[in-house]
Amino acid sequence: MKRRCCNRSDPTILSLVLFAVNDGVNSETGVRSLDAMFGSDDSPYLRLPDSVDPSSITSAWVRGLDEVLRHIRVKSSAFQDELVKARTQDTPDETQNRYQPGDFVLFQQDPTVPRPTKLASPYTGPFEVIQQTKNDVECRHLVMGNIRVLHVTRLKLYTGSREEAYKEALLDADQFVIRKIHYWRGNPEKRSEMFFFVEFDDGDKVLLPYSKDLSSAVQF
């Protein structure tokens, strides 16, 4: 008996369906499933080729598979569109609140990890929003300047001024503004033995050993 390639339960057909599902970009994560599993370097090799002219194919089996493949792609695309529509019908994209560039936000620490002390803040920051793409918010730390991509569910708006946000970020990063370096002592040829008498913006004066953190200050 001749096997028909249109049998929906055929392993070949099911494999094509599975591949078509994993070949699409997830609308929620923005990542192709195959790339998430195997990485993006081999992405060009993990793709189904574009359909060719059926008249150039001499094998009836291959023509049948191509027809099934086109049908799968159409059905998969329609299903994904309906899924997105169903999930966003109560909260359409155009009515959702989004963080805007220049907003200040606080990022919730990992709630599954105990805080170092009971008085430690459950939030870190503030960060300045650069842009939001779907549920990912690209932010810059106000003091350290490092850029991070943070998930929107763990962010909350910081309502203070820029000056207040900067002061909070200084404390968060355990940084202090240097007013002046009065003098140094030690061997300049061996930085690990050098000390600097530093005056901070709050009036404190401390003799500090050389460090990368100190040497990156403008006053240094």
Same domain assignment for residues 46 and 83: yes
- pLDDT for position 126: 93
Give per-residue pLDDT as tens, 88-101. Answer: 776 666 666 789 99
Which residues constitute the domain of residue 153? 104-172
Query: Does residue 208 lie in a domain region?
Result: yes
In a domain, 220, yes or no: no
Tokens of 185: 């002592």
pTM over 0.75, yes/no: no
Count up the domains in the chain and report the number: 3
Higher local confidence (pLDDT), 15 or 1:
15
- Which of 157, 172, 187 is the last residue in one of the domains? 172
pLDDT digits (tens, 9 = 90+) for 21-50: 777 777 667 777 777 777 777 676 666 556
> In a 10 Å sphere around its CB, with 0-12 CB exposed, 13-18 middle and 19+ buried, how is residue 117 labelled?
exposed
Decide if 19 is inside a domain. yes
Q: What CATH number should be reported for the domain holding residue 152? A: 2.30.30
Model confidence pLDDT, tens digit, residues 156-211: 999 989 999 988 888 887 777 778 888 888 888 888 889 999 887 777 888 889 88
User: What gap in Å lies between CA 73 and CA 87, rounded to an integer?
Assistant: 21
Q: Which amino acid is at 1?
A: M
